[in-house]
Amino acid sequence: MVPRRAARDSLPEKMLERFEEMGFDLSRFVPALLRPPSQAFRINTLKGSREEVLESLAYLEPEPCGWNPLVFRVKKRLKLGNLIEHFLGLIYAQDASSTIPVTVLDPQPHEEILDMSAAPGSKSTQIAAAMRNTGLLVANDVSPKRIPSLTGNLDRSGVLNTVVTRLPGQAYGYIATERFDRVLLDAPCSSEGTLSRSFRTLEIWSESAIKRLSATQRKLIMSAYYSLKPGGVMVYSTCTFAPEENEGTVSYLLEKFPEAIVEPINLEGLNTQPGFSEWRGEEFNPAVKNIIRLFPHEHDGEGFCVARISKPN
């Protein structure tokens, strides 16, 4: 049984060893990893304007996140899900880091976009808002259990431009080859970066789980790339630190499609680190240095890893 509040002692020895191998100073890194980051919310412009929502929530003294004018942190401890603004769909409570992949994807109105692993919908709703409810957003998730949370959040956010599908993400490369302008693959991962939110991660964490997830991610990233139009852009993201699931997966794609471009990401006010160049003797493709990594001891948010990949015309 995993305790709800974990301390350093409750982290598996193997996990700590890996973190040390990644070069983290454990005395700073582990406490930050286990401490919940500031709460954050994103303003849903499908329901209200930034100005009116900020006026309504001024008493919370929200602090803007530099990289996205619609994302704010809240230092006060309260349940954002109980606010009337949340009920109305004016805000979406989500960790600040988890708003980064869609910010990097930069969806545009009237495009066709695939969110390959969409539940519970925080990123799908962010994409739909950026598209201003136009065009087509395919919000896919393979898990029937996770579909209700996805549809519930789409409903609350007032999303009209979405088709929800329940397919293995691997299928899209075949059924929608070169169809989408943009693809988001927020891949299923070992979730090391979200330990402060859910220590249940520890129940499933193991090195063999990382290996298994990495194999799935390789299939998904291939499918995502196949489904992308020439000239299209995809974002690959995870909420884990494991290099096998990040640089390893992106390197695998580059091995299969050397023409794919891992683009640099520049977001204002974000303290990021570049992708690792190697892990346990395995050298990654040099282009993975353009991946951004977010660490909880350097950034007020969960651990995340984001790559922006374009497909040449």
Partner 1 sequence: MRSKDLETQLIERALSSLEERFGISKDYFSTHRLFARRNDVWCCSREAGEAEFPQIVRRGLRIARVFEHSVRPTTNAVQLFGHLVKRNRVDLDERETKRFLAGQTQDIHLPEVEGGECVTGVTGVRGVTGVTGGFVVAFHKGYALGIGLLKENKLKSQVPRSRRVLSSFSPSEKRSEEG
Residue ranges in contact with partner 1 by CB under 8 A: 46-48, 56-57, 59, 82-84, 87-90, 110, 112, 133-138, 147, 151-152, 154-156, 158-167, 171, 175-176
> Count of CB atoms within 10 A of residue 129's CB?
22
> Which C-beta is closer to partner 1: that of 168 or that of 274?
168
Separation of alpha carbons 41 and 99, rounded Å:
9
Strand partners for 261: 310
- Total residue length of the chain: 313
Separation of alpha carbons 188 and 185, rounded Å:
9
CB 208 within 8 A of CB 221: no
> Which C-beta is closer to partner 1: that of 133 or that of 310?
133
> Which C-beta is closer to partner 1: that of 40 or that of 139?
139
Tell the smallest beta-carbon distance from residue 169 to partner 1 (Å): 12
The token pair that represents 306 in the structure block? 């984001």
Tell the smallest beta-carbon distance from residue 62 to partner 1 (Å): 12
> Which C-beta is closer to partner 1: that of 83 or that of 209?
83
Q: Chain-centre distance of CA 158, in angstroms?
A: 21
- DSSP per position, 196-262: TT-TTHHHH--HHHHHHHHHHHHHHHHHHHHTEEEEEEEEEEES---GGGTHHHHHHHHHH-TT-EE
The token pair that represents 304 in the structure block? 């995340």
> Which C-beta is closer to partner 1: that of 44 or that of 246?
44
Phi, psi of 143 (to 5 degrees): -90, 115
Tell the smallest beta-carbon distance from residue 301 to partner 1 (Å): 25
- Residues with catalytic roles: 239
Separation of alpha carbons 269 and 301, rounded Å:
13
Tell the smallest beta-carbon distance from residue 165 to partner 1 (Å): 5
Tell the smallest beta-carbon distance from residue 122 to partner 1 (Å): 17
Place of tokens 């909880």: 296
